Structure 1
């Protein structure tokens, strides 16, 4: 009889432990899900998002890698952006059917120029060739490449955005993440001035100081987004326009 009482007692204890563990697992799961987005940004998060473009302008130049999707294959641009001169410079390499579109590239908000090269270096030369360039007006509505170049130049501003307006314009916290081992928060939006309802199309990866480490933007008609990653290589100053 004593053995049966002990057995029943152990069964009861085991059942209680199982219930407690189950409750703990449920609480842990619920706590984890409560910390997933999207949700409205806090005041601190809105402030970080508001200074992100200004941080790029303060830095003047950022080293960037841009992945541009396209029906003919991906283009990858490795170079730099000057947020005070509103200009960019780099090497462009194609993949797939775009593998012929390789060489040097430089651009402003008004114009883009390409310089074909038979062998493309990993980084652009500090002094670009004086001739051999083919240029045209930059038109963000004309295709994925021009749109990506315009998006990059738009990521700098000579003043912070209005943090109080960001939540009203669709800015949201999405998730915690890491970029090259650095902890970041991922934010959506806000809406652009000329495209209401566009907040969901842009993602920003910002560190605790509001420094931009990655940006992802959807492109109309493309399954894959434009991806801009900062500080991926040594910064090379953008040569002044001719």
Structure 2
């Protein structure tokens, strides 16, 4: 997991410093960019003391619904399988030999539902956070610096030059660490979000969400799943 946490290549300028007007505008539209795109392919790296979890899938930012496959890292396969979630519920489909990518059409049976926990679960916090990175309107660029936003540095992701900025944790979700800079965004020149790192109260290591890690597959609800709008 350490590879996900490297900030900057060491060759560019480093912060933190106040956002420029252009940087504030890009941070303000980054969640709107996800909504405009309808959805994004994601890889969510979830920390854990007994081994981590990796969720590979898609988030529909207009439908407020996520779907993917879960694999354990450094742990047994008891948590492996398909997963679909809303802001209120989690549905899991256990699989002994989970595929690398979730099937485009979810199985019609074999799902188990439960409420999404608002605290105490790194997985549930990560799922809720991933849904929050879409908005049907831009944020207020003038208010972002007042709420803890700052420029931290630069990096390259898959050949793209990106800026790393901190954002206020209130923009993510309950369960995030409550300090300024707990959320870091890797943002492209047009405001596209490529990575987010979020400190969560239930884990000593941050959650990392990478975007466009595979092809986006539209999310189809499984029986019994009703997105929270």
- TM-score normalised to the size of structure 2? 0.87
Match of 1:212 in 2: 193
Residue in structure 2 matching 1:199, options 174, 180, 192: 180
Match of 1:40 in 2: 18
Q: Which shifted more, 131-140 or 80-89?
A: 131-140
Instruction: Write out the 4+ residue segments of structure 1 that deviate beyond 4 Å after TM superposition.
Output: 193-197
Q: Does 1:228 align with 2:206?
A: no
Match of 1:237 in 2: 218
- Deviation track 1:176-213 (CA, whole Å, cap 9, x = no partner) reads 11111110000001241678963311100000000000
CA distance in 2, matches of 1:87, 1:139: 16
Match of 1:90 in 2: 68
Q: Does 1:161 align with 2:139?
A: yes
- Higher relative contact order structure (alpha carbons within 8 Å, sequence separation ≥ 6): 2
Q: Does 1:104 align with 2:69?
A: no
- Deviation track 1:87-142 (CA, whole Å, cap 9, x = no partner) reads 10000001223532100000000100110112111111111111111110011303
Residues 76 and 33 (structure 1), Cα distance of their counterparts in 2 relative to 1, 3 Å cut = closer
Match of 2:7 in 1: none
Q: Does 1:134 align with 2:115?
A: no
SS in structure 2 opposite 1:84? coil
CA distance in 1, matches of 2:160, 2:12: 23
Q: Which shifted more, 116-125 or 105-114?
A: 116-125
- TM-score normalised to the size of structure 1? 0.82
Match of 2:5 in 1: none
Q: CA RMSD in A?
A: 2.0
Q: Once the 2 structures are TM-superposed, how far is the Cα of residue 222 of structure 1 from its aligned partner?
A: 2.1
Residues 136 and 45 (structure 1), Cα distance of their counterparts in 2 relative to 1, 3 Å cut = same
Unmatched tracts of structure 1, length 5 or more: 1-31
CA distance in 2, matches of 1:116, 1:241: 14
Q: Once the 2 structures are TM-superposed, how far is the Cα of residue 69 of structure 1 from its aligned partner?
A: 0.4
Q: Which structure is higher in helix share?
A: 1
Residues 52 and 131 (structure 1), Cα distance of their counterparts in 2 relative to 1, 3 Å cut = same
Residues 33 and 236 (structure 1), Cα distance of their counterparts in 2 relative to 1, 3 Å cut = closer
Match of 2:227 in 1: none
Unmatched tracts of structure 2, length 5 or more: 1-9, 224-229
Residues 89 and 167 (structure 1), Cα distance of their counterparts in 2 relative to 1, 3 Å cut = same
SS in structure 1 opposite 2:181? helix
Q: Does 1:175 align with 2:153?
A: yes
Q: Once the 2 structures are TM-superposed, how far is the Cα of residue 68 of structure 1 from its aligned partner?
A: 0.2
